[in-house]
Amino acid sequence: MIRLISLLLLASPALAAPKIDVLNVKPDPAKPEVEVTLSVTKARGNCDVRLEFGDGKGRTVDFGMATTRTLHYTYAKGGSYKVTARGTGKTPCDAAKEVTVKVAGPAPAQKKAEKKKADKKSASKKKDEAKP
């Protein structure tokens, strides 16, 4: 009986659910995009993690046999966001991680109205030049 208990105690870390080990969020200084790297420590099995990006959107990551997943996410606007990772689903990973990230705003779009005005002036100039 003592041997059985000893074996169970020694085996328990190997039977523990995979644990979220690292959450790294790297922003792109010129764009509202981030690279998210998520790692788990595990001795066996699959686990699932729910990533919340802090802007009301999220994604579930299935680790399968992998221990690291990297993905890209683009924010609609610049700002400061809390990215969180916690176990979810039928096979949740243990633990939770949180990282605050500041992202750049999207590149300013060229105004179509200004472009159209410039096109009209160019077309008008060409007509004037074509007249005898």
Q: pLDDT per residue over 38-66, tens digit each?
A: 999 987 788 999 999 999 999 999 988 88
Look up the CATH number of the domain holding residue 78.
Answer: 2.60.40.10
9 has pLDDT over 50 = no
End-to-end CA distance of the chain: 110
Higher pLDDT, 84 or 108: 84
Confirm whether 128 is domain-assigned.
Answer: no
Confirm whether 54 is domain-assigned.
Answer: yes
% of the chain with per-residue pLDDT over 90: 52
Helix (H, G, I), strand (E, B) or coil at 52: strand
Question: What is the CB neighbour count within 10 angstroms for residue 8?
Answer: 10
Q: How confident is the model at residue 7 (pLDDT cuts 50, 70, 90)?
A: very low
Q: What is the pLDDT of residue 5?
A: 44
Structural domain count of the chain? 1
Q: What is the mean pLDDT of residues 79-102?
A: 94
Task: Report yes or no: 82 and 7 within 8 Å, Cβ to Cβ.
Answer: no
Question: What span, in angstroms and rounded, lies between the C-alpha atoms of 52 and 46?
Answer: 20
Question: What span, in angstroms and rounded, lies between the C-alpha atoms of 24 and 112?
Answer: 38
**Radius of gyration for the chain, computed over Cα atoms and rounded to the nearest angstrom:** 26
Confirm whether 119 is domain-assigned.
Answer: no
60: containing domain: 7-106
